[in-house]
Amino acid sequence: MQEDNVNNESCTCNCNKKDEFLEGLLNTYKPIKDNLIQMLNEVQEHYGYVPQYVQKELSEFLNIPLAEIYGVITFYSRFTLKPKGKYAISVCLGTACFVKGSRKIMDRLTEKLGIGPGETTADGKFSIDETRCVGACGLAPVFTVNGEVYGKATVQKLDEVLDELMNK
C-alpha cells in the first residue's frame, strides 16, 4: 500500500498548476468516467507520478469523487503517488529471474541504498521497484535503470552500476 497523500500538497516537479500538458490532456479526452485509467496512464508517464492537484482536476473533469480516484491509483501498481528517483531501478522478480537468483540482486540493492521497494532515497536520486517479468528471460536475472535493461546480472555488476550512478 502506498502512503497517504494528504500532505503531498506541494508539487516537486516544478510545474505550474494546470500546465500545458494537463490542459492538453483535458482537451484530448471526453469527460467520461471510463477514461480515468487511460488518463492516469498518461499522467504517470508525463510526471513520473500522479500529483495531488492533477487528481483534483481529474476528479472535477470526470465527475468522480477524489476518494474513488485514490482507490484506483492505489489499486494499480503502475501508478504512484510519489515521484520516482532520478535513477529508477527495477529488479525483475518474475519466476525466470527468481529461479536464477534475482532475489539476491534485490537484497543487495535495498541494502546498499537503504530503502525498500516502492521507495525513493531522501535525496531523490534513486528509487527501487519490483517488476514482474520485463520479458528478457533469456538474459535472466535482469534489472533495469530508467528502462535500460542490464542482463545476466550479478551482485558485482549491480555494485559497479551503482557506483557509477552514485558518482554522476
Partner 1 sequence: MKTIDEIHEIRIQKRKELELRINTNADTREKHILVCHGTGCTSSKSPQILENFRRIIEEKGLENVRVIKTGCFGLCAKGPIVIIRPEDTFYAMVTPEDCEEIIQTHIIEGNRVERLLCKDIDGTKVNSLDELTFYKKQKRIALKNCGVINPENIDEYLAFDGYLALEKVLKEMTAEQVIETITKSGLRGRGGAGFPTGKKWELTKASQDSQKYVVCNADEGDPGAFMDRSILEGDPHSVLEAMEIAGYTIGANKGFIYVRAEYPIAVKRLQTAINQARDYGILGENIFGTGFNFDIEIRLGAGAFVCGEETALLESIEGKRGQPRVKPPYPAQSGLWGKPTLINNVETYANIAQIILKGADWYSSIGTENSKGTKVFALGGNVNNIGLVEVPMGTTLREIVYDIGGGIPNGRDFKAAQTGGPSGGCIPKEHLDTPIDYESLKEIGSMMGSGGLIVMDDTKCMVSLAKFYLEFTVSESCGKCTPCRIGTKRMLELLEKLCAGKGSEEDIDKLEKLASNIRKASVCGLGQSAPNPVISTLKYFRKEFEEHAIDKQCRALECKAMAKIKIDPEKCKGCGLCQKHCPVNAIEGEAREKRIINQEKCIKCGTCLTNCPFHAIGN
Closest to partner 1 by CB, 36 or 162: 36
Distant-in-sequence, close-in-space partners of 47: CB < 8 Å, separation ≥ 6: 13, 15, 54, 83
User: What does the per-residue mask of binding to partner 1 show for 99-138, with x meaning CB under 8 A?
Assistant: xx------------------------------xxxxxxxx
Which range touches partner 1 (CB under 8 A), out of 3-11, 20-28, 39-47, 160-168? 39-47
Question: All 3 cell numbers of residue 101?
Answer: 537468483
The minimum distance between CB 26 and partner 1, in angstroms, equals: 16
Q: Is 74 exposed, middle or buried (0-12, 13-18, 19+ CB in 10 A)?
A: middle
* Span from 4-12, 17-25, 76-84, 158-166 in contact with partner 1 (CB under 8 A): 76-84
Residue type, 92: C
161 binds partner 1 (CB under 8 A): no
The residue from 9, 20, 34, 123 that contacts partner 1 (CB under 8 A) is 34
CA distance 31 to 37: 13
Max CA pair span of the chain: 51
In three-state form (DSSP H/G/I as H, E/B as E, the rest C), the secondary structure along 41-67 is HHHHHHHCCCCHHHHHHHHHHHCCCHH
Q: Tell me the site size for partner 1, rule CB under 8 A.
A: 37
Q: Is 88 in the site for partner 1 (CB under 8 A)?
A: no
For partner 1, the binding residues (CB under 8 A) are: 33-38, 40-41, 44, 71-72, 75-79, 93-100, 131-140, 142, 149, 151
